[in-house]
Amino acid sequence: MAATAPPASAAPASTRFRLSDGAAFVLLCSMALAFLAAASAPTPLYSVYQEEWGFSAITTTIVFSVYAASVLGALLTVGSLSDHIGRRPLLFGALAAQLVALVLFAVAENVETLMAARFIQGISTGAAIGAIGAGLLDLSKLRGATASAVAPMVGTGAGAVVSGMFVQWLPAPEHLIYLVLLGVFVLQAVGVALMRETVTPKPGALASLKPQFALPPAARRPLIAAAPAMVACWSMAGLYGSLGPALVHRITGSVNHVYGGGALFVLACSGAVAVLALANTHPQTSMVIGTAALFAGVGLTMLAGDVSSTGFFFAAIVAGVGFGAAFQGALRSVAMVAEPHERAGVISVLFVISYVAFGAPAIVAGVLVVETGDIMATSYYYGSAVMVLTAFALIALVRQTRAAATPAASAPTEDCAGARVVGALRPVPSPEFDAA
């Protein structure tokens, strides 16, 4: 008797239940948003912890530094691991660590537990950033680069505001917000189980764990061109992240926790709008627009800081446009030249630079506020430093743009590395969802 084909219902589960590439793209965007939202969720709660546990303001700075250090450690070690073992295994590991961190947050009753939760959360976030960003680029280069710039900004701002709402209006916020986030990550873990792997594993996983700060040759010149803009925009974000809530309370006279996260939320949302509006703009042009808006936004922030709450939030909008434009231009100019097996490592290097620029000045600012007790003076010092840095970045970018516009710079040459760089600064059209 001839053998018959098995019925369709007998097909392996792994082939029956798979997310489409479009659904997987949305899932990865939601994960980038959720990881960064979870990272900013504790910010409005620090005043609650401080009141309940009686620690000093300098302790908050220490807790922040623990998180920043663990993120950087993860980026430098496991940041490129998904290029070797695949995106899904690393995402599962990052999700598991995030769940442990959220449980610790929910049960924390002292500073030591809070610091342990922040440390684990930093490792989780650092591990996830590279894999998520690389996965988005695997599915669509152009849309992936845009999403990699939008989702972290929106997540950071939304996490602070939503957590502030929990603190302001809901019971037991120091437990509830973390339980809600825990449920979100469990659902995302189910989604990761159903998405396809987007990269073929390759040897060298153990060797990739050695701390490194390396880029493929094709990405080095674009990074040198983009680094000043990245440092400037993330230093500005550090200004709003570290001093923004205190400045808002000072300007408005309100102790509403939602207002405290409002400046960062406005900054993030206007940045996301700028990213989407400039998605098809030449990366170099986007960085020039961004650094110019950054300079204006920080200047307006300093002018409005002790005068007008409306002016302060308008300044946040201008600064956010600069942040979004500068960051997405930098990310696109560097990440889009990387090959599939290089993408997680490249994304990790970009975020190492970003987190150093975001965290180090913020820690210094926190120490200055504690030492001097003058939030306005500290904000002026910080803002002035960011404006000087932004001015240097803008001058460098304008010079690069003019040089690229000359016939000698735009003409084809025998220098293959140079040709790759010129090509890297143009948007790369790609199918909506491709495995390139």
More confident residue, 175 or 365: 175
Q: Average pLDDT for residues 31-52, to the nearest whole number?
A: 91
> What is the SS3 assignment for 68?
helix
- pLDDT of amino acid 361: 79
% of the chain exceeding 70 in pLDDT:
88
User: Rounded to an integer, what distance in angstroms lies between the CA atom of residue 210 and that of residue 142?
Assistant: 30
> What is the SS3 assignment for 282?
coil
More confident residue, 86 or 374: 86
- The dihedral region occupied by 433, where left means phi > 0, alpha psi between -120 and 50, and beta the remainder, is beta
- pLDDT of amino acid 306: 62
As a whole number, the mean pLDDT across the chain is 84
Tokens of 422: 């010129």
**What does residue 19 show for φ and ψ, rounded to 5 degrees?**
-70, 145
User: Rounded to an integer, what distance in angstroms lies between the CA atom of residue 21 and that of residue 194?
Assistant: 11
What lies within 8 Å, CB to CB, of 72 at 6+ separation is 126, 352, 355, 356, 359
Q: Average pLDDT for residues 59-63, to the nearest whole number?
A: 82
Confidence of residue 16 (pLDDT cuts 50, 70, 90): low
9 DSSP assignment: G
- Give the CA distances from residue 5 to residues 8, 11, 115, 129, 376, in Å, rounded to whole numbers and listed in that order: 9, 11, 58, 44, 75
- Domain residue ranges of the chain, discontinuous segments joined by +: 18-198+218-409+416-424
Q: What tens digit of pLDDT does each residue of 185-196 get? A: 999 999 999 999
Q: Average pLDDT for residues 48-76, to the nearest whole number?
A: 86
User: Rounded to an integer, what distance in angstroms lies between the CA atom of residue 214 and that of residue 434?
Assistant: 27
Q: Average pLDDT for residues 96-120, to the nearest whole number?
A: 97
Looking at domain 18-198+218-409+416-424, its CATH architecture is Up-down Bundle (1.20)
- pLDDT of amino acid 399: 86
User: Rounded to an integer, what distance in angstroms lies between the CA atom of residue 208 and that of residue 77?
Assistant: 7
Of 89, 295, 112, nearest to 192 (Cα)?
89
Most confident of 19-23, 143-147, 302-306: 19-23
**What does residue 334 show for φ and ψ, rounded to 5 degrees?**
-100, -50
- pLDDT of amino acid 239: 78
Does residue 421 have a pLDDT over 60? no
Confidence of residue 255 (pLDDT cuts 50, 70, 90): confident
- Which pairs from 370-378 meet CB under 8 Å and 24+ separation? 370/56, 370/57, 370/58, 370/61, 375/243, 375/246, 375/247, 375/250, 376/247, 376/250, 376/305, 376/306, 378/243
Does residue 366 have a pLDDT over 80? no
Confidence of residue 14 (pLDDT cuts 50, 70, 90): very low
Tokens of 66: 């623990």
- pLDDT of amino acid 169: 92
Most confident of 27-41, 265-279, 343-357, 361-375: 27-41
- pLDDT of amino acid 64: 80
More confident residue, 369 or 330: 330
- pLDDT of amino acid 207: 84
205 C-beta neighbours (distance < 10 Å), count: 17
Which amino acid is it at 328? Q
Does residue 347 have a pLDDT over 70? yes
Per the CB < 8 A criterion, the answer to whether 80 and 126 are in contact is no
The DSSP string of 195-221 is SPP-S---S-HHHHTS------HHHHH
In this structure, of 60-69, 245-254, 328-337, 401-410, the range with the lowest mean pLDDT score is 401-410
Give the pTM.
0.80
Confidence of residue 429 (pLDDT cuts 50, 70, 90): very low
The DSSP string of 391-421 is HHHHHHHHHHHHHHHSHHHHS--S-HHHHHH
